[in-house]
Structure 1
Amino acid sequence: MHSLPIFVALKGRPVILIGSGPAADTKRRLLERAGATIVGEDATAALAIVADGDEAAAARLQARGVLVNVTDRPELCDFTLPAIVDRDPVLIAIGTGGASAGLAKALRQRIESLLPTTLGTLATALHAARPRIRARWPAADDRRHAIDAALAGPLDPLGDTGDVDTWLQAPVAIAETGLVHLRPRSADPDDLTLREARLLGRADRIYHRSDAPAAILDRARADAERIICVTPPATLPVGLSIDLEIL
């Protein structure tokens, strides 16, 4: 990765904005949507956007330790601003490291067409139900597996959004556990089937050969254990384990 994507809570926090004209107006609207307090160069702030290409101003701010974005000058930027898909409170950010804002926009438009407007409602309902979810599945692994199963079924975020209350009151099938032998047909992650991608995203641990493609392993949960071996052990920990081998 060329940079680490993060979401910064800006509500009520100062952000320096330098410049005027259409580019500055666009950045101002974006900052206002995020709840930031827009201030001038002399103010104290952790972030700044230079919308008029003023290299000297950018250098002065960086010398003060301020993280700076310079519009259309990625080589001068400490951070870049992504294209955003907003399904509040769900946010999807698409960045190219400043390589092509047009490409990021095209991807945003494609993703916009895939995501239902009810996605934010589902996220809000799941957040409100957290105490009941914890009560029903006290163990963290059981809770994660149950939510995974729901989001692959009755609460499918890309389908007709289900009702969280109905889900909690119904018998729920726990997501697949035990050992699953996964044999993707190529080293290209684009060739993964939907089931293979979902299993990688849910697995607690992945047993794989030393030559397993990094691009496939990167599709697994970030906190999933990755164990290099020829054959998984006979006795496995509780949860979902994957024996991964590329055909």
Structure 2
Amino acid sequence: MSLPSLPLFHRLAGQPVVVLGHGEAAEAKRRLVLRAGGKVIEDLAEGIDIGARLAFIAHEDEGACQADAIRARGAGLLVNVVDKPALCDFTTPSIIDRDPVIVAVGTGGASAGLAKALRLRLERMLPQGLGALAEALYAARGAMRTRWPTGPERRRALDAALEDGGALDPLREGRDVAGWLAGAADGASGRFVIALRSDDPDDLTLREARLLGQADAVVAGPRVAAAVLARVRADAMRLAPGDAEPHGGIVVVIEAAA
């Protein structure tokens, strides 16, 4: 299953960003740019001259939106036209801020209201201390490299620590990164088989869903439902039955539902 768009986090600190238009929609985009540390430029020609890479367009007149979108895109800028997904190169998500952790919920411009509702629901679930956990893990990178020299080893150990009920479960308070490092075990590895009961990913057990999210490689035939494959870690190796499987790591074989 393909992604409708590629979510990215764009660093704006000190960078010029064009924001065109008047009214609350344009003001909301100006506030967003300023919150991210960007410099608001309200003239397209000036923005082009000084190397702006992004443009938000929020005119009330649709013709003006289309004209400025064409000009900006022709100059190499990525364009967001408020409430007009068909004219957008990118859309802005609803944001949960647990600095430095940022959770962004987007619908590709289909429904800002739905994105907001999901963001509010998730915000109640995520502890305020989530940012502190991220900072502690950043500070421990050297120690983790010493403990687990390769990237896959580190990822598997972190997966085990950060899973539901793990030593560093991000949805609970009181996590101790130093204590975890002192007694941490290596993460799971091996070959696992998931025999699907249906094509509905909601029928996966918690263990099965966790394995798909952690897999280094997944073996699946053409009868495995795309909705189930969408639960696989995005950068996992995708193999067909009979392909050579990698040695080490987590290999998950998915058997289609009868």
TM-score (norm 1): 0.91
Unaligned runs of 5+ in 2: none
Flag the 1:120–1:139 CA change in 2: closer, same or farther, 3 A.
same
Q: Please give the alpha-carbon distance, in whole angstroms, between the structure 2 residues aligned to 1:160 and 1:5.
A: 28
Q: Please give the alpha-carbon distance, in whole angstroms, between the structure 2 residues aligned to 1:140 and 1:36.
A: 33
Question: Of residues 3, 6, 22 in structure 1, which corresponds to 2:5?
Answer: 3
Of 179-188 and 235-244, the range deviating more from structure 2: 235-244
Q: Please give the alpha-carbon distance, in whole angstroms, between the structure 2 residues aligned to 1:113 and 1:28.
A: 27
1:100 Cα offset (Å): 0.9
1:76 Cα offset (Å): 1.7
Task: After TM superposition, list the pairs within 5 Å mapping 1:37-186 onto structure 2.
Answer: 37-40=39-42, 41-43=44-46, 44=48, 45-53=52-60, 54-55=64-65, 56-152=67-163, 153-170=166-183, 172-186=184-198
1:4 Cα offset (Å): 1.5
Flag the 1:140–1:62 CA change in 2: closer, same or farther, 3 A.
closer
1:224 Cα offset (Å): 1.7
1:132 Cα offset (Å): 0.6
1:97 Cα offset (Å): 1.5
* C-alpha RMSD of matched pairs (Å): 1.9
Sequence identity, in percent?
51
For the 8 Å contact 1:119–1:161, the answer to whether it is kept is no
Aligned partner letter, 1:71 = V
Question: Of residues 176, 186, 199 in structure 1, which corresponds to 2:211?
Answer: 199
User: Does 1:19 pair with 2:35?
Assistant: no
Residue 239 of structure 1 aligns with which residue?
A: 249
Secondary structure of the 1:92 match is strand
Secondary structure of the 1:120 match is helix
Secondary structure of the 1:111 match is helix
Secondary structure of the 1:27 match is helix
Secondary structure of the 1:103 match is helix
1:213 Cα offset (Å): 1.4
Q: Please give the alpha-carbon distance, in whole angstroms, between the structure 2 residues aligned to 1:201 and 1:161.
A: 25
Aligned partner letter, 1:77 = C
The number of aligned residues is 244
1:108 Cα offset (Å): 0.8
Flag the 1:159–1:192 CA change in 2: closer, same or farther, 3 A.
farther
Q: Please give the alpha-carbon distance, in whole angstroms, between the structure 2 residues aligned to 1:180 and 1:187.
A: 19
Secondary structure of the 1:150 match is helix
Q: Please give the alpha-carbon distance, in whole angstroms, between the structure 2 residues aligned to 1:30 and 1:150.
A: 34
Of 122-131 and 51-60, the range deviating more from structure 2: 51-60
For the 8 Å contact 1:10–1:36, the answer to whether it is kept is yes
Secondary structure of the 2:45 match is coil
1:186 Cα offset (Å): 1.9
1:84 Cα offset (Å): 1.0
Q: Please give the alpha-carbon distance, in whole angstroms, between the structure 2 residues aligned to 1:57 and 1:144.
A: 45
Aligned partner letter, 2:175 = G
Aligned partner letter, 2:237 = E
For the 8 Å contact 2:157–2:188, the answer to whether it is kept is no
Aligned partner letter, 1:5 = P
